[in-house]
Structure formats: structure tokens, C-alpha cells
Amino acid sequence: MSDTWHSTEQERIQALEARVNSLERQLKRQKIARKNAESFLETYSQDAYLANQALRKALRDSKQRERELLYLNRAASQLSSNQPGKNFIISALESAVEFSGALCGKAFIVQGEELTVGDDSQVLSHDKGWYSSPELAKLLKDETPLALRESYSHWCVNAVQRPDTKEEARVLHFMCEMAEGEYAWLVLLTQDDHLEEETLHILDTSKHYLNITLRYHSKKTKLTSQQIELSSVKKDRDFLEERLVSADKMAMLGQLAAGIAHEINNPIGYVRSNTVVAKEIFNDYQYALAEIGTLCHAAGGEIGAQFEALEKRFSLQESAAEISEMFNESQEGIERIIEIVKALRSFSYPSSGKHTQISAIDAINTAIKLTNNLHRYKNKVKVEVPDKDVYFLGNAGQIQQVLVNFVTNAIYATPEGKPITLKVQQDDKNVMLIVEDEGIGMSRETLGRVFTPFFTTKPPGEGTGLGMSISLTIVEEHNGTINITSKEGKGTRVVVMLPLA
């Protein structure tokens, strides 16, 4: 009786201990799940904020693209109109004032030494139309080089002080030659000292359209030649519209990539958590199995023999080792996916404009991860970095954009099997991020135009022609420089030099 009671009590104790162990494991899993939930909530809040910022930026960019296309369409329509040169100059001024959002504008036409148009106090405003302002009219006239007789290819910019507010502003002007010895100037006065480079680039098309139209009116007998030029302008306009649409598509792809990264991030978190817990539970089973084996061997006889037979039949030790290795490989794969998702999110979302300390080695490695699918089966990528990391100040997302652009170009230009090398070097003041390839290289003419917006050597549909110009803008905003050397048939070397932190 006593032995039976003692055995029953032992079974109850063992059952309670098993229950306690089970509850402890459940509590541990719940703690891990709660921690992951808090992490997911923090990530979701951050993603929501970044997504909102990205949407605002996309809307601003979309409105700017719309204004640019409307301006280009209007300028192209004016090009094909049959109106006298003076009227065309005024029409072009109206378009430029409206597009640039200038405070006011004025047109001047000089014939011989006489100012035939613009010698008055009238200025043109988008809101007020033509109105009298002697101070502004005098400022625009004084800042315009009316004695110049050589056409210049781009808008010139002068820093001035507005006579009405005494604040700094900018005067933009350019000149074009008209028929019968006439010269015309378009002059704009900005609201303040802020002037966007992209706006100035789009305004440059005004001079192109004006020159063609004025030549058309002065040489009506050369109808065939003019038709060819009109066709060329239409192609240029269509090309620009296509590139602008492509740029919008690339921006949208960035947003989609950010959304996909967010969608991957949530389920991979669950997989990561479950894998960690499953591995711990398996370790407990493995430990229990070892204890059972020890007890069976200690008991000996038929029990020990049966355990040994089962162990051999199911290869328990080998299977346990293989499962443990599977868990380790799964964890490594999950961590790699998480790193790629983090890199993709930081690359896709717009930056806040703040500069932080960046690891040069991390920047290089991130660029390699983001382009892994492009070079994995095509080129071997080598990395040469110093033993001690190098740091510089900048925006991580923008620097990644620059490096990804250069690495992508290297992959595109390098034949299969040839290597691409990424290096980190430094001198006393700067860090150098270097991308070298053994590709087809560039001619001197191509190298001279490599930073020109919309210029690309890739087939239609495979490149926007904006990557290099955007990269240059980003690096210059970081007070850095880009140096490119290339030889046809031998390869290209790109050096991005940035100040040390």
C-alpha cells in the first residue's frame, strides 16, 4: 500500500513538473511574441510616417512634372504658330513668367542702337498682367546687357536687391538674334533668392524654340529645311515627355518597393520568432532524448537493447545533428532577408535631409546587396576595404542611390565573367568610394556628356538618362566630387570623394 501510494505521489509530482515546464515555455513564447509585437508596432508606425512623406514628395514631383509638360507643350505650340517675331517674344515671355512663378518679367528688342521695345515702365506679372512699376522696369533694364551682340546659349543669372523690399533676388535673362538686325531679350525677376536648377533647365528650352521660330519667320523660302527642324523639335519634345514619364515610373517603383519591403518585413518577423522558439523546444527534446538514452543504458537488458535498436533504426543522433544544422541555416537565411529588406526600405524612402555619420564599408556592402540579383550570375564582385572602417557625414539613402547607380552601370557595361571591384580608400581629408570595371568603356565624346540630363547609351526603355546627373547633384550637395576615367575596350573607374566625418 505504501509503495503504491509513493509511486502515485511520484507520478503526480512528475506531472506537475512537466506542467510547470510547459507553462514556462508558453510564458517564454508569449514574452517573445509580445516583444516582437512591440517591435512590429514601432516598425509599422515608422513605415506609416515614411510612407506619408513619400506620398507628399510624389505629389509635389507629379505637380512639378505637370507644370513642366504644360510649359513645353505651350512653347512647342507657339513654335508652329504663324505670328510676327515681336508677338512671339511677348508670348514666350508670358509663358516663362507663368511657368517660373517669377515676380515679373520684361522683353526688350533692340534694332541697331535703338531700343524699340521695352523702353517704358511696364512689367509683366502672372497675377496682375502688364502694370506700371518704374523701379522694377529700371532694375530689369539696368541688369540686361543690351549692348551685347553675341547670342549666349543659356539663361544668365545675376544677384540683385529688390527695390521694393530690399531683399535679395535673382534676375534671369537671355538674348536671341531676330531678323533684319534685331536682337531680343527675355528678362525675369524672381520672388526671392531661391532658384531651382531644374526650372532653369526647362526654361532653357525657350531659347531653343525662339531661335527656331525666328529663323523660320526670317527664312520662309526654306520651307523644307524648316519642316525638318519642326519635326526634330517634336521628336525632342516627345523624347523629353517620355523621359519625364519614365522618371515618374521610377519614382512609383520606389514607392512600390518600399511597400513590398514592409509587407515582407511583417511575416518574416513571425517566421524569425517561431524559428527561435522551435529551435529552443527542439533543444529541450534533444536533451530529454539524451536523458532517456542514459536511463535506458543504465537499466541495461532488454530496455537498453531496444533503445539502441530504435536509435540505429531512426538514426536519432544523426537526425538531431541535421535538424540542428537546418535551424542554424534557416536563422542565417532569415537574418539575410531582414538585412536586404532594411536596405531596400532605406533606399526606397525619401530622406529627411539630415546628415548622419555613415560607415563607408557598410555603404559599399549595402550597394552590393541591392544589386546582387544583377551580378550574381554574371560578374564576380570584389571588395577591397581597409582594416579600420572609415566614416563620413551624409544621407545614407542618397549615398546608396549614387553607389547603386554606379554599380548598375558597371554591371551593364561589363561582359559576363569579368570582375567588378569596389574599394574604400582615404587620404587626410576625404574618403574615396571607388567602382572599377573591365567593361566596354566610354569614348571621349560619351565621357564628356555623361552628366547631361536625359543622355543615355542604353536602348530605349532601359534607361532614363537621369541617373548620372542625379548622382552628381547628390554628391555635390554632400560637398563631394565625382571623377570618372574610362578607356574604350578596357573599362571605367569611378571615384566618389566625400569629406571625412
Strands 122-125 and 114-117: unpaired
Spatial contact of 203 and 105, defined as CB atoms under 8 Å apart: no
For the residues 309-327, what does the mean pLDDT come to?
Answer: 79
pLDDT band at 72 (very low <50, low <70, confident <90, very high): low
Which pLDDT score is estimated for 88? Answer: 73
Of the candidates 135, 245, 117, the residue with the CA atom closest to the CA atom of residue 185: 117
Is pLDDT of 340 > 50?
yes
Distance CA 399, CA 499 (A): 13
pTM of the model: 0.39
196: cell is 531651382
Is pLDDT of 221 > 50?
no
pLDDT band at 470 (very low <50, low <70, confident <90, very high): confident
pLDDT band at 206 (very low <50, low <70, confident <90, very high): low
Distance CA 344, CA 346 (A): 6
Which pLDDT score is estimated for 485? Answer: 92
Single-letter amino acid code for the residue at 461: G
For the residues 404-431, what does the mean pLDDT come to?
Answer: 90
Is pLDDT of 108 > 90?
yes
**438: Cα separation from own chain's centroid:** 26
Number of Cβ within 10 Å of residue 394's Cβ equals: 26
Please tell me which residue, 349 or 242, carries the higher pLDDT value.
242
The string of pLDDT tens digits covering residues 239-262 is 666 655 555 555 555 555 656 665
Distance CA 351, CA 345 (A): 11
Of the candidates 430, 427, 435, the residue with the CA atom closest to the CA atom of residue 486: 435
Distance CA 451, CA 477 (A): 15
Which pLDDT score is estimated for 268? Answer: 74
110: exposed, middle or buried (Cβ count in 10 Å: 0-12, 13-18, 19+): buried
Distance CA 275, CA 312 (A): 28
The string of pLDDT tens digits covering residues 153-189 is 677 888 999 988 888 998 988 887 776 678 888 899 9
For the residues 13-31, what does the mean pLDDT come to?
Answer: 79
